[in-house]
Amino acid sequence: MKSWSTNRARLARVAGAATAMLVVGSVLAACSGSSSDSSSGGSDTLTVSIASDVVSLDPQLQGDLTSMSVADNIFDTLTVRGSDNSLQPGLATKWAQINPLTWQFTIRDGVTFTNGEPLDANAVAFSINRLLDPATKSPIVELVNVKDAVVVDDHTVNFEMKAPDPVIPAKVSLFGGVVLPPKLFQQEGAAAFAADPVGSGPYEFVSRKQADEIVLKANPDYWGTKPAVQNLVFKVMPDPASALAALQSGEVDIVTGITKDAANQLGTNPDTTVESTPGIRTYSINLDTITSGPLANADVRNALNYAVDVPTIISTVMAGAAEQTPTLIPSSVYGFDSSVKPFSFDPAKAKQLLASAGYPNGFSTTLTASNADSALAQALAGQLSQVGVNAQVNVVDAQTAKSDIIALNKRLDGGMYLVANSGWTLDSVSFLQSIVKSDRRSSRWNNPQADQLVVAGETDTDDTARVQAFSQLQSLLKDQAPFVYLFDINNTYAMKSNVKWTMPVTGILSMSSATFG
Partner 1 sequence: MATTVTTQAPAAGVRRRLGARLAGGELQQFILRRIGQTILVLFCVATITFFLVRLTGDPVQAMLPPTATLDQENALRAQLGLNQPLIIQYLSYLGGILHGDFGQSLFFHQPAFDLILDRLPATIELASGAMVFALIVAIPAGIIAAVKRGSAADSSVVATVLVGQSTPAFFVGIILILVFAVNLHWLPAGGMGGFNHLILPAITLGLYSMAMIARLLRSSLIDQLGEDYIRTARSKGLSRWQVIRDHGLQNAALPVITIIGLEIGSLLGGAILTEQVFSWPGVGRLTVEAITNRDFPLMQAIVLFLSVIFVVANLVVDIAYAFLDPRVRLS
- Three-state SS across 217-272? EECCCCCCCCCCCCEEEEEECCCHHHHHHHHHCCCCCEECCCCHHHHHHHCCCCCE
Phi, psi angle pair for 439, to nearest 5°: -95, 5
Residues 6+ apart with CB under 8 A from 48: 232, 233, 234, 235, 252, 253, 254, 256, 509, 511
d(CA 32, CA 25): 10
Q: What sign results for the dihedral spanned by CA atoms 304, 309, 313, 316? A: negative
Among 83, 94, 115, 141, binds partner 1 (CB under 8 A): 141
| Binding window for partner 1 (CB under 8 A); candidates: 88-96, 208-216, 296-304, 336-344 | 208-216
In the complex, least distance from residue 209 CB atom to partner 1, rounded to whole angstroms: 6
Q: How far is the CB of 38 from partner 1 (least distance, A)?
A: 8
Q: Contacting partner 1 (CB under 8 A), which of 147, 402, 411, 500?
A: 402
Evaluate whether 115 touches 181 at the Cβ level (below 8 Å): yes
Q: How far apart are CA 356 and CA 101, in angstroms?
A: 50
Question: Counting contacts by CB under 8 A, is residue 48 touching partner 1?
Answer: no
Nearer to partner 1, 269 or 291 (CB): 269
Q: Smallest distance, Å, CB 129 to partner 1?
A: 16
Which residue, 58 or 76, has its beta carbon nearer to partner 1? 58
Q: How many residues bind partner 1 (CB under 8 A)?
A: 78
- The one-letter amino acid at 27: V
Where in 405-434 is the site for partner 1 (CB under 8 A)?
405-406, 421, 430, 433-434
Is 31 in a helix, a strand, or coil? helix
Residue 354 · residue 362 · CB < 8 Å? yes
Alpha-carbon gap, residue 30 to 67, rounded angstroms: 28
Residue 29 binding partner 1, by CB under 8 A: yes
* 262 near partner 1, judged by CB under 8 A: no
Helix and strand numbers (H, E) in the chain are 16, 19
Q: Is 461 in the site for partner 1 (CB under 8 A)?
A: no
Q: By CB under 8 A, tell whether 211 contacts partner 1.
A: yes
Closest to partner 1 by CB, 43 or 248: 248
Q: Is 241 in the site for partner 1 (CB under 8 A)?
A: yes
Q: How far is the CB of 412 from partner 1 (least distance, A)?
A: 13
Query: Residue 45 CB, nearest distance to partner 1 (Å)?
Result: 14
Q: Name the nearest CA neighbour of 276 among 491, 51, 506, 503.
A: 491
Residue 210 binding partner 1, by CB under 8 A: yes
- 58 is an interface residue for partner 1 by CB under 8 A: yes
Give least dist CB 421 to partner 1, A.
8
Q: Fill in the amino acid letter for 487.
A: F
Options 94, 147, 226, 441; binder of partner 1; rule CB under 8 A: 441
Examine residue 497 and tell whether it contacts partner 1 (CB under 8 A): no
Name the minimum Å distance from CB 192 to partner 1.
12
Find how far residue 107's CA is from the centre of its chain: 27
446 vs 459: CA distance, rounded Å = 20
* Among positions 120, 213, 288, 337, the unique one binding partner 1 when judged by CB under 8 A: 213
Minimum distance from residue 235 beta carbon to partner 1 (Å): 6
Mapping DSSP to helix (H, G, I), strand (E, B) and coil, where does residue 188 land? helix
Query: By CB under 8 A, is residue 488 in contact with partner 1?
Result: no
Q: How many other CB atoms are found less than 10 A from the CB of residue 439?
A: 7
**CB burial readout 16-41, b (16+ within 10 A) else e:** eeeeeeeeeeeeeeeeeeeeeebebe
Quick check: 372 binds partner 1 (CB under 8 A)? no
- For partner 1, the binding residue among 89, 118, 139, 347 (CB under 8 A) is 139
Near partner 1 by CB under 8 A: residue from 99, 187, 242, 364? 242
Of residues 40, 46, 48, 56, which one binds partner 1 by CB under 8 A?
56
CB atoms within 10 A of CB 190: 17
268 is an interface residue for partner 1 by CB under 8 A: no
CA 348 from chain centre, in angstroms, equals 38
Min separation Cβ 24 and partner 1, Å: 8
Q: Which residues contact 40 (CB under 8 A, 6 or more apart)?
A: 46, 47, 233, 250, 251, 252, 253
Q: Does residue 399 touch partner 1 according to CB under 8 A?
A: yes
Choose, by CB under 8 A, the member of 125, 131, 157, 236 that binds partner 1: 236
CB of 488 to partner 1, least distance (A): 17
Shortest distance in whole angstroms from residue 56 CB to partner 1: 5
25 binds partner 1 (CB under 8 A): yes
